Structure 1
Amino acid sequence: MPKRKPKKATGKGKKEEKPEETVVHLPVREDYKVVTEYWVVEPYAKVKIVEIPEAGNQRAYFVEEVQLTEEERKAVDKLIDILSVELEPPASFDVDLRQHVIDEARRLAEKYKGSLRGIGEESWGKVIYYIERDLVGYGPIEVLMRDYRLEDISCDGVDRAIHVWHREYESIPTNIVFRSRDYLREFIVKLAHMSGKHISAAFPIVDAMLPGRHRLAATYGEEVSPRGSTFTIRKFREKPLSIVEMVEGGNLDDWTAAYLWLMIENRMTAMVIGATAAGKTTLLNAIANFFKPGFKIVTIEETPELNLPHENWVQLVSRESYGLGESKVGQITLYDLVKVSLRYRPDYIIVGEVRGEEAFVLFQAMSTGHGGMSTMHADSLDRAVKRLTSPPMNVSPAYIPSLNIALLSERTVLPSGGFARRVKHVWEVEDFEKYREVVRWDPVKDTHRVISESYHIKHIAERTGKTPEDMYKEIERRRVVLKWMQMKGIKETKDVFTVINRYYMYPDEVYATAYAELKEANALPQPLKITPKAVVEVIPQARPVVAKPAIQPAAQVAAQTSTTVKIPEENNSTPIAEPVPSLPPEGTAVLKALAVLGGEGDHASVFSLTALSREQFVKAVGDLSGKRLVIPTLIYVEGRPTVGYRLTSEGEALVKKLGLK
């Protein structure tokens, strides 16, 4: 329901001014093709995914809410006013707030029934929906917050369509547009207050957690964002993905999952690396399914996103300073929490994301025998180690072998089309700058391949009095259990955790059941034969300039051993420029047109500057959108909503590299 500012008082004979629209929901036009539609709050709120022909069939997310009559609108406003005065507080903290408000609204409606005209039984449901939506909900974005298919909600300012990240359709614009700068500022203040935080012109940035553990990042006014207030909400998944769902979705294969199960049981340390929104925390949460029942787990985060089924779990969250200016009064950092966590005698310390001095303490803890897990922003293990050994982390190279396993998770293009998250590499750390790749994702077949034997399995075997062959057989047994859970539909995190706990207690019994049922269904996984070969990447700390003939002996040595060593090419005194991504002429033309228009423009303006045919333009925009260089959006031109395009940060960087500005 679009909010409207109250009408201004007018003198006699003067024409009343039309109230300014604060939020609009653009309608679905007849020429839009509806790809799919589903209810979010039946029968009051529906979502339609449509294709917009004038934007090259760009898909968009349209919200359709039931409309109120004038009498129903007055009843909603009146009840909200009454509730704000006469609302009784809940009897205890265990009461659901939404249900309490609905019950109070019904009670007060019965009390003031005589003054609520035109409200019958058929209208009451709509009235309750809007009271819940506007009083205790998220107002104009309530449907977006309730849609479990969405991962992110992003508002870039006034007169710009809100964008969402849909699990099936990825980044797409919505039909919701904030029109009023004042209302958007008020709305962000409300979000901040719902998070228990403050935001204003004096403190224009907030990073907080909304009810339901959704993560909020927002800016206020024009203090730090010239285009006006902005916000992004990363939605929290109430039911985290289990390791079985990760395997079923192709994020990783069952052998890698079983391998990680064995590693976690033996308190090996692990780090998940990748870019933003690569699925690092989701993967870390899924791996946590493998903890033994008796393990004591301590998690340390800035914003609590981990959701473990484990009973013996201590969750610690950092706190910002409540002092003003440079004062750090009351601040509790990740560094402080990692230090105090050691007093809890943990089996595993999990840091949601390492990026500062807390990494130093974490690696010290891991080097003394504690299990450790974390995530980090990096695109390769080599770069992750470089970050770890540089300020502000300052982890000594001698401590790097305390990290046993590194997994690279990325959002990538699939061979069949579309995008998905995949674990692209699994490395084992033998020593500083000496890494062994165990598992690699094949981008052609969308499968994971074991390319090397494990370095750590030998050490685990020695420690437990077994042979490496016994360890590999144990991995195959656990593959059978994971495959059986997948076949039986055991996917919920708690159910998966229960089966894993049973396996720890009665391994032979659980394995026998899984093996028998899989064999009967002819669904047993084929055992993998691990060849006794190791693919090790050695990265020298210093890369001296050498003559070309000096490379020959290294190649001969590599050929004489069973270990393949990758030796970087020799350094050159001339710095090598960073490669510029190649684009077809059509894509370059679209980028140049957007650069001329200042980074954003409507469909007609961009198209007219490219001199491309309609088919070429549509293909070029689709290609740039797939590479996340351009985002199709809805913008306002002279007060009229129209389809447009905007350069992403990656797109702006490429425009500079290509010299198109």
Structure 2
Amino acid sequence: MERILAQYKVYSATVTIKDVDGVGLYLVQEPYLNPELKRTVEKFAKSLLKSKVNVTYERVLRMVSESKVEGDPELLSYYVFKKVKYGDLTIPIYDEKVERVECYGLGIPVKVVHTTFKNYLRLASNLIFVDQRELEDLQDRFNLGKDGIYAESYTPEGHKVVEYKSEEGFQLEVIKRFSATPSVSKVCRDLKCNFDALAYLWEGMEQGGLYVIGGNPYATKALMNSILLLSKSDLKIVTIESSPKFNFEGRNWLKVDARISSEDLSNFLAASQPDVLLADMRLNLLKSLLSCPCNSMMLFTDLRSVRDIMSLIVSYLGKRYKYLFLARLSGIAIYDKDLRAYSVDKLRRKTVVRRLNLSPKALALRNKGGLNDIVERLHSRREFLERVVEDNVSDEIQIRQILREYLGK
């Protein structure tokens, strides 16, 4: 069964989102360009590449229109722009509804993460590279090095590009929502976040504990990145990721590749003694992570239900680590169109996970703090978040000043 879910324009190309037997597709259809116009496109592209200026579509359109060459200026501008930017990746990169582009090598469809159709996790596209030279050209366009197994760079548009290399070739990922300094106001506004749930997670992270964060990893990591940047600047932060999304430049920050062995990770964590640990939830590393004595830990997974998260972890861990996990678990949060938070209550030998309705009781009991104090802090955090988002405050100095008004930091 085939259904068209959406259709829209990106420059002169048409993007169609389809569901075919439960599989989500991202299809790019380009207008026809005859051989004569192709030669015109080549001339414009050669001129722009030679000038080495930062090319925008508007600049190309203006140049083509002023030249008064034969042919539709928008059609020509589209192909020139595609030629000088990122080739077949140009449309998904410039599609504002796409937040991530993944290229897994020759002969494999490019995948995209779409902001509107996240229930598919990834949409397979009809964009397929068949020539190694095209991929090598992209390496040059993205200013990625040819040595080492990992490289990263930033595009002029501010997107982060990461590259993984192996004997079979290399893979590219363009992370469009990555920001060098993720602002809490922008992230919350983009994601339309539930402030109650985020305030609870923020409070819990600062008090300490283990939280499992499920759902869209791009959204959850952006949220926690922006919140953690508001915390004390002297915290030692360790991130463990298979695909880097966090950015704590200028902080006490150590990065670890999630492909590390369990033994090496245990030794690293014992030596580094982080205050905050943010990690992809890889089952083979779970025991090492649970043994880490850090104050706050957040594990990120793309699972989207409490039942799935708990079942997977508990069934994987042995008896000893199962009880260690349940003893350390402080809460669960899931982002799927909105952020939902769940508190964890320890009732005798039973652990109960409940949907949070701004109930700080679990926090107060766990930390032996006054309930009224925690209620007041939660409301202050919520009011701070509401204000910076409503007033669209992007300046970090101003955000800090407002934070001091509400929380005295």
- After superposition, the C-alpha distances for 1:123-174 in whole angstroms (9 at most, x for unaligned) are 2233233222211x11111111122433443345555432223232422221
Relative contact order, higher structure (CA 8 A, sep 6+): 2
- After superposition, the C-alpha distances for 1:475-494 in whole angstroms (9 at most, x for unaligned) are 31232234446666817683
Distance 1:478 1:441, change over 3 A: same
Matching of residues 170-249 of structure 1 within 5 Å: 170-178=121-129, 180=130, 184-199=131-146, 207-211=151-155, 212-217=158-163, 224-225=167-168, 231-238=171-178, 240=182, 242=184, 244=188, 249=193
1:149 and 2:94 matched: no
Moved more, 244-253 or 59-68: 244-253
Question: What RMSD over aligned residues (CA atoms) do the two structures have, in Å?
Answer: 5.0
Match of 1:24 in 2: none
- After superposition, the C-alpha distances for 1:264-307 in whole angstroms (9 at most, x for unaligned) are xxxx6988788995866435403314325xx3578788987434
Match of 1:451 in 2: 345
- Shift, 1:249, TM fit: 4.4
Distance 1:408 1:238, change over 3 A: closer
Q: Which of these residues, 469, 478, 484, is aligned with residue 377 of structure 2?
A: 478
Separation in 2, partners of 1:251, 1:490? 10
Distance 1:475 1:448, change over 3 A: same
Question: Which blocks of at least 5 consecutive residues in structure 1 are unaligned?
Answer: 1-30, 91-96, 315-347, 390-396, 426-431, 459-467, 511-661
Separation in 2, partners of 1:272, 1:413? 11
Instruction: Answer yes or no: is the 8 Å Cα contact 1:300–1:351 preserved in 2.
Output: yes
Q: Which of these residues, 386, 404, 407, is aligned with residue 504 of structure 1?
A: 404
3-state SS, counterpart of residue 448 of structure 1: strand
- Shift, 1:32, TM fit: 5.3
Separation in 1, partners of 2:110, 2:47? 32
Match of 1:527 in 2: none
User: Which amino acid in the other structure matches residue 68 of structure 1?
Assistant: L
- Larger helix proportion of the pair: 2
Distance 1:487 1:219, change over 3 A: closer
Equivalent residue pairs, number: 362
User: Which amino acid in the other structure matches residue 32 of structure 2?
Assistant: Q
Identity across matched positions, percent:
15
1:72 and 2:20 matched: no
Match of 2:319 in 1: none
Distance 1:209 1:274, change over 3 A: farther
Match of 2:222 in 1: 282
1:118 and 2:70 matched: yes
Match of 1:140 in 2: 88
1:166 and 2:96 matched: no
What is the TM-score of this pair, normalised by structure 1?
0.44
- Shift, 1:63, TM fit: 1.5
3-state SS, counterpart of residue 451 of structure 1: strand
Instruction: Answer yes or no: is the 8 Å Cα contact 1:269–1:373 preserved in 2.
Output: no
Separation in 2, partners of 1:354, 1:300? 11
Q: Which of these residues, 19, 25, 45, is aligned with residue 60 of structure 1?
A: 25
Match of 1:47 in 2: 15
User: Which amino acid in the other structure matches residue 118 of structure 1?
Assistant: E
Instruction: Answer yes or no: is the 8 Å Cα contact 1:275–1:377 preserved in 2.
Output: no
Distance 1:193 1:493, change over 3 A: farther
Matching of residues 12-23 of structure 1 within 5 Å: none
User: Which amino acid in the other structure matches residue 133 of structure 1?
Assistant: K
Distance 1:437 1:248, change over 3 A: farther
Matching of residues 191-590 of structure 1 within 5 Å: 191-199=138-146, 207-211=151-155, 212-217=158-163, 224-225=167-168, 231-238=171-178, 240=182, 242=184, 244=188, 249=193, 253-254=197-198, 256-260=200-204, 262-263=206-207, 277=217, 281-292=221-232, 295=233, 305-307=245-247, 314=250, 349-353=252-256, 364=271, 366=273, 372-378=275-281, 386-387=287-288, 400-401=292-293, 403-414=294-305, 435-440=327-332, 448-451=342-345, 453-454=362-363, 457-458=367-368, 468-469=369-370, 472-484=371-383, 490=389, 494=394, 498=398, 501-505=401-405, 507=407
Separation in 2, partners of 1:489, 1:276? 23
Match of 1:36 in 2: 6
User: Which amino acid in the other structure matches residue 288 of structure 1?
Assistant: L
User: Which amino acid in the other structure matches residue 330 of structure 2?
Assistant: V
Instruction: Answer yes or no: is the 8 Å Cα contact 2:211–2:298 preserved in 1.
Output: yes
Question: Which blocks of at least 5 consecutive residues in structure 2 are unaligned?
Answer: 315-323, 347-361
- Shift, 1:100, TM fit: 10
Instruction: Answer yes or no: is the 8 Å Cα contact 2:111–2:124 preserved in 1.
Output: yes
3-state SS, counterpart of residue 406 of structure 1: strand
Separation in 2, partners of 1:206, 1:262? 32
- Shift, 1:76, TM fit: 0.8
User: Which amino acid in the other structure matches residue 5 of structure 2?
Assistant: V
Instruction: Answer yes or no: is the 8 Å Cα contact 2:4–2:18 preserved in 1.
Output: yes
Match of 1:130 in 2: 79
- After superposition, the C-alpha distances for 1:428-477 in whole angstroms (9 at most, x for unaligned) are xxxx989443335699xx6512425458734xxxxxxxxx21xx433312
Separation in 2, partners of 1:486, 1:104? 40
Separation in 2, partners of 1:373, 1:189? 38
Instruction: Answer yes or no: is the 8 Å Cα contact 2:211–2:297 preserved in 1.
Output: yes
- After superposition, the C-alpha distances for 1:349-375 in whole angstroms (9 at most, x for unaligned) are 233446666875765564xxxx73332
Distance 1:124 1:154, change over 3 A: same
Match of 1:514 in 2: none
3-state SS, counterpart of residue 118 of structure 1: coil
